[in-house]
């Protein structure tokens, strides 16, 4: 007779089956082979999160990376002011020069100035970067400019979109667009309705072409003249790249100083359309802006484009800012006080014209010297 051995006691390992973690191996990506590398893009976005987070302001809620950015409402006494714009074909110059660190500043400052015209201060900014193929180094340079300008303007970089679109954008190039939202007290909105004949127009110096007129500028400089970004601008000691990539200035701080001291009747940001199309946007029906073109020194790059490109003199003032990036319109009795405040802010102000009782629009007054130069 054999003795039956007792069955071994059940143990957890013997009776319970646990899932075994499998190491995930990275497989070849068909999407990456087709032109869109998701891993590269996500790594690039992760790498700038800390930089972007440094722009958070007291209105910021949460961090970046959510489907939408959160920001506290400024309150019922305020109006929100929004604007969207892009850097345009200035980006082609950045690509030629392989310099991408300031185009983000150009974009933020441009948008800040646009809402400043109505008296608004920026709350937050959203960006869009679209490219044929994601380049981490270029992306970091672009974002560094966005961050720098947002900090300088007290604006939170709340989020954005990075899109890889091969077949839409040329290889090696990209697009950069931004949306800004600001706020102004309902009682402080500047509409231009207070502008009246006799008011004085003050111009603030631009840093260069800002972000407009680059298609014509590139045609004259690169196609007509055959110059490169590394050549000197004829008649100057400035390289073409430096002249064309000069940063679009923000006029927020000097204008805040001015608005704190006096009532401003109107403002205009001199962007696409130059003087002719931008100033009338804030003029009442029976007010005309008369601009004295001899009242400030036009930077050399504009004279060069006009002469070499054989561009009509009046057209120059519709395509380019001609050295005046922003205009402010004040009561004549306040003009000298305004000039003193703006000089202290180091924005090179000039009294460039006045408002007269004529149909809405812009007309130009030239010195005898300018008139002779145009006929020559």
pLDDT, tens digit, for every residue of 126-180? 999 999 999 999 999 999 999 999 999 999 999 899 999 998 999 999 999 999 9
pLDDT at 36: 57
pLDDT per residue over 107-116, tens digit each? 999 999 999 9
Percent of the chain with pLDDT over 90: 76
Read off the pLDDT band of 376 (50, 70, 90). low
pLDDT at 50: 75
In angstroms, the CA 97 to CA 31 distance is 30
15 pLDDT above the threshold of 50: no
Place of tokens 């003795």: 3
- Quick check: helix, strand or coil at residue 364? strand
CATH 3.40.190.10 fits 35-186, yes or no: no
pLDDT per residue over 346-364, tens digit each? 999 999 999 999 999 999 9
| Domain spans in the chain, listed from the N-terminal domain onward | 35-186, 200-375
Average confidence (pLDDT) over 210-237 = 97
Element (H, E) at 376: none
Name the strands in the sheet holding 288-292, side by side, starting at the edge strand that comes first in the sequence: 266-269, 324-330, 200-205, 349-356, 288-292, 361-365
pLDDT at 10: 45
In angstroms, the CA 327 to CA 255 distance is 10
| Burial readout 228-240 (b: 16 or more C-beta within 10 A, e: otherwise) | ebeeebeeeebbb
pLDDT at 32: 61
Phi first, then psi, for residue 134 (nearest 5°) are -70, 130
pLDDT per residue over 35-76, tens digit each? 656 666 566 666 677 777 888 888 888 766 667 778 889 999
Neighbours of 97 (CB within 10 A): 17
Classify 47 in phi/psi space as left (phi over 0), alpha (psi -120 to 50) or beta. Answer: alpha
Asked, colleague to colleague, whether 35-186 and 200-375 share their fold, the answer is no
Place of tokens 């090179």: 348
Tell me what the pLDDT averaged over the chain comes to.
Answer: 89
In angstroms, the CA 247 to CA 25 distance is 46
In angstroms, the CA 97 to CA 131 distance is 17
Spatial CB neighbours of 345, under 8 Å, sequence gap ≥ 6: 253, 254, 257, 258
9 pLDDT above the threshold of 60: no
In angstroms, the CA 290 to CA 329 distance is 12
DSSP string, 139-188: HHHHHHHHHHHHHHTT-EEEEEEEEE-BTTBPTT-EEEEEEEEEEEEGGG
β-sheet bridge partners, residue 72: none
pLDDT per residue over 273-283, tens digit each? 999 999 999 99
| Rg, the chain, Cα only | 28
In this structure, which topology does domain 200-375 adopt according to CATH? Answer: Phosphoribosyl-aminoimidazole Synthetase; Chain A, domain 2 (3.90.650)
pLDDT at 367: 74
219 DSSP 8-state letter: I
Element (H, E) at 306: helix 300-309
Q: In this structure, what token pair is assigned to residue 284?
A: 């009442």
Task: Specify whether the CB–CB gap between 292 and 322 falls below 8 A.
Answer: no
């Amino acid at each position: 007779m054999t003795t039956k051995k007792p069955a071994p006691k059940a143990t957890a390992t013997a009776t319970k089956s646990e899932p075994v973690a499998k190491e995930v191996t990275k497989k070849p990506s068909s999407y990456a082979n087709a032109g869109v590398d998701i891993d590269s893009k996500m790594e690039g976005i992760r790498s700038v999160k800390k930089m972007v987070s440094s722009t958070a302001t007291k209105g910021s809620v949460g961090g970046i990376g959510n489907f939408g950015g959160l920001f506290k409402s400024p309150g019922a006494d305020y109006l929100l002011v929004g604007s969207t714009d892009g850097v345009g074909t200035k980006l082609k110059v950045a690509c030629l020069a392989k310099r991408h660190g300031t185009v983000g500043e150009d974009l933020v400052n441009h948008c800040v100035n646009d809402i400043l015209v109505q008296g608004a201060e920026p709350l937050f900014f959203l960006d869009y970067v679209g490219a044929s193929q994601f380049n981490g180094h270029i992306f970091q340079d672009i974002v560094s400019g966005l961050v720098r300008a947002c900090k300088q303007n007290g604006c939170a970089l709340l989020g954005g979109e990075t899109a890889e679109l091969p077949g839409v954008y040329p290889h090696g190039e990209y697009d950069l667009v931004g949306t800004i939202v600001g706020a102004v007290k309902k009682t402080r909105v500047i509409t231009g309705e207070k502008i009246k004949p006799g008011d004085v127009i003050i111009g603030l110096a631009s840093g260069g072409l800002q972000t407009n007129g680059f298609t014509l500028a590139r045609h004259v400089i690169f196609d007509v003249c055959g110059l490169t970004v590394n050549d000197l601008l004829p008649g100057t000691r400035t390289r073409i790249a430096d002249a064309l990539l000069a940063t679009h200035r923000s006029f927020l701080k000097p204008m805040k100083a001015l608005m704190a001291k006096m009532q401003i009747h109107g403002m205009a940001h001199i962007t696409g359309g130059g003087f002719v199309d931008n100033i009338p946007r804030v003029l009442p029906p029976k007010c005309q802006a008369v601009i004295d073109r001899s009242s400030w020194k036009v930077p050399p790059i504009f004279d060069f484009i006009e002469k070499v490109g054989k561009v009509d003199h009046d057209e120059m003032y519709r395509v380019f800012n001609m050295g005046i990036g922003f205009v402010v319109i004040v009561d004549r009795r306040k003009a000298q006080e305004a000039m003193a405040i703006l000089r202290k802010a180091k924005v090179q102000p000039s009294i460039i014209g006045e408002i007269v009782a004529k149909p809405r629009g812009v007309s130009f007054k030239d010195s005898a010297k300018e008139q002779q130069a145009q006929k020559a």
